[in-house]
A and B are shown apart, each in its own frame.
Chain A
Amino acid sequence: DAGITQSPRHKVTETGTPVTLRCHQTENHRYMYWYRQDPGHGLRLIHYSYGVKDTDKGEVSDGYSVSRSKTEDFLLTLESATSSQTSVYFCAITEGLAYEQYFGPGTRLTVT
């Protein structure tokens, strides 16, 4: 257990509304990640953070922004949700000598 929680765990929202997902960790990990998981695509990296206020884009970052104002929280924002952003979103942290990644429980987001 890497001490990762995600909130909310489930959310239904309408197209065009802003949505923020939260990832919280309790063990002072420097690296944090946001992935989305879709059938046929597996896990795809959206954004990641390598420290407070230090973030970078992943392979599917369009339509998403992130913020990390303190070590323990990494926020993912959809400024104007679209139906193509319906997905399961996972947060992860890096730990261990080989930078293994450990995942949170996920947030299921449905955009109607």
Chain B
Amino acid sequence: GQQLNQSPQSMFIQEGEDVSMNCTSSSIFNTWLWYKQDPGEGPVLLIALYKAGELTSNGRLTAQFGITRKDSFLNISASIPSDVGIYFCAGRDSGGSNYKLTFGKGTLLTVNP
């Protein structure tokens, strides 16, 4: 089935640093979503992207829908300790069902105070 390649798998950064992570797919997507999961909780939707080239911000988070429609990027600026968690990308394949998502395997972010 469809695969999403999310990188990096993990990151260890100092508080105040900026963070970048990305996802790539083997086919064209028409929606990209970014989630964050805290320990013991369900994933929470951070940002949704609906068209190629779109750049959307949510506070210190900024995500972009790649112009090839096969990738997406998430940036976190000026990281703080509460940014710790697992970040997942997810996307909807343009050739697939509207009601199914494909998920990346996540980026584990650790922030050292």
Contact = CB atoms under 8 A, between A and B. Distances in A.
Interface of A: 31, 40-43, 45, 48, 50, 58-59, 90, 94, 96-106
A105 B33 contact: no
A105 B41 contact: yes
B42 A104 contact: yes
B103 interface: yes
B42 A42 contact: no
B101 interface: yes
A35 B31 CA distance: 20
Interface of B: 1, 31, 33, 35, 40-45, 48, 50, 88, 90, 92, 98-101, 103-106
A98 B94 CA distance: 12
B50 A102 contact: no
B1 A59 contact: yes
Given A96-B48, A104-B42, A43 B103 contact: yes
B41 to A, nearest CB: 6
A43 B90 CA distance: 10
A48 B44 CA distance: 19
A59 B103 CA distance: 12
A89 B11 CA distance: 26
Contacts of A48: 99-100
A99 B43 contact: no
B100 A45 contact: yes
A73 B41 CA distance: 20
Given A48-B99, A98-B50, 18 more contacts: A31-B99, A40-B105, A42-B104, A42-B105, A43-B43, A48-B100, A58-B100, A96-B48, A98-B92, A99-B92, A100-B33, A101-B90, A101-B101, A103-B43, A103-B44, A106-B40, A106-B41, A106-B42
6 contacts: A42-B104, A43-B43, A100-B48, A103-B35, A106-B40, A106-B41
